[in-house]
């Protein structure tokens, strides 16, 4: 067994089609393919103007979202902040969050720790409404 794992994030299965969110959202969760023990990581692409149709918190996991291209709005509890390329936002477990792609959309890397596996997120459908 090697002491490392290589995985192209764009080759990880896209979970968005399972929830009817493709092509507006792409969500590739790489915790299992990378054999991560202490944290999770994902690649997400949000289409221009698309708002994720739920908000979520976590029971345990803290997350960081890094915008690698484009821009997006992040609703964090009652605040809405604009994030541009290479901005990173740390979101504690109890902060409700959701995202909307900017004019050119956004590509995002999300990292969460500790590794909790499935079931840590608490989802609220329709949380961010105007």
pLDDT of residue 119: 87
Q: Which residue stretches of the chain have pLDDT < 50?
A: none
The whole-number pLDDT of residue 118 equals 82
For residue 1, what pLDDT is reported? 54
Separation CA 68–CA 103 (nearest Å):
15
Which CATH architecture is the domain 21-117 placed in?
Sandwich (2.60)
Domain residue extents for the chain: 21-117
- Are 30 and 44 contacting, i.e. CB atoms less than 8 angstroms apart? no
């Amino acid at each position: 067994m090697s002491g490392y794992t290589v995985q192209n994030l764009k080759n990880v299965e896209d979970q968005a089609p399972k929830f009817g969110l493709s092509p507006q959202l792409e969500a590739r969760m790489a915790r299992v393919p990378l054999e991560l023990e202490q944290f999770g990581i994902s690649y997400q692409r949000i289409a221009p103007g698309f708002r994720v149709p739920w908000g979520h918190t976590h029971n345990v996991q803290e997350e960081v979202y890094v915008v690698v291209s484009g821009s997006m709005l992040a609703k964090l509890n009652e605040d809405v902040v604009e994030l541009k390329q290479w901005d990173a936002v740390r979101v504690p477990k109890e902060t409700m969050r959701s995202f909307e792609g900017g004019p050119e959309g956004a590509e995002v890397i999300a990292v969460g720790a500790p590794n909790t596996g499935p079931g840590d997120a608490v989802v609220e459908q329709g949380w961010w409404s105007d």
